[in-house]
Amino acid sequence: MNVTIHPSWQSQLQSEFQKPYFDTLVRFVRDEYRSTTCYPKGNNIFAAFDHSNFELTKVVIIGQDPYHGPNQANGLCFSVKDGIPHPPSLINIFKEIETDIGKPYPKSGNLEHWADQGVLLLNATLTVRAHSAGSHQNKGWEVFTDSVIRKLSAEKKGLVFLLWGGYAKKKISLIDTSKHYILTSGHPSPLSANRGLWFGNKHFSKTNELLKNMGKTPINW
């Protein structure tokens, strides 16, 4: 199966693309995009990998599903296209950044500038049907993205994984905690944040401190 993905990831994941489940997944996704409206656009499905290539990745944030509203999803978890109103979780992310490191709340919710600095913004499921959250779950995407996490854990050292909410925390079992850093908290969604499980986690300053201690360039959040 030929998949258009950044060359640095192509070499790491080529064996995954040859597996039967991935062939089944591709057929499902193609049929869905032909028969109904799906997000993100086809050329953005692997955008997270294009912006944060394998060699440069130093921080990993794991989401669950792409946004399923019109013109929201751009292939990066929690991120929206320029000019799109910020969803509630993203609002809370920016509020925590403002409190944590003093950076003013931004106008754009596009997180490509994070990804370009080596932050892999990885949704567990890379596609979704319009207005139908979770509609492409359990079709094979999770098998693929779990393999991405395992590959990062095995081949790299000193990554910072930010696991927000119960779903993301389940991925700890895929990560070698003896050579990577894991920061966990509640999810930035209002349901979790309003219960005191998100605000004050200081994940953005903590991440940069870890990166600086390893001699790596901190992220300009």
- Give the catalytic positions in this structure: 65
Beta bridge partners of 161: 60, 182
* Distant-in-sequence, close-in-space partners of 119: CB < 8 Å, separation ≥ 6: 52, 57, 58, 59, 60, 61, 111, 219
Q: What is the sign, positive or negative, of the torsion defined by CA atoms of 110, 114, 118, 123? A: negative
Identify which of 84, 58, 86 has the alpha carbon closest to the alpha carbon of residue 210.
58
SS3 60: strand
* In contact, 182 and 172? CB cutoff 8 Å: yes
Q: From the centroid of its chain, how far is CA 144? A: 13
Number of DSSP helices (H) and strands (E) in the chain, helices first = 9, 6
Asked if 129 and 35 touch (Cβ cutoff 8 Å), the reply is: no
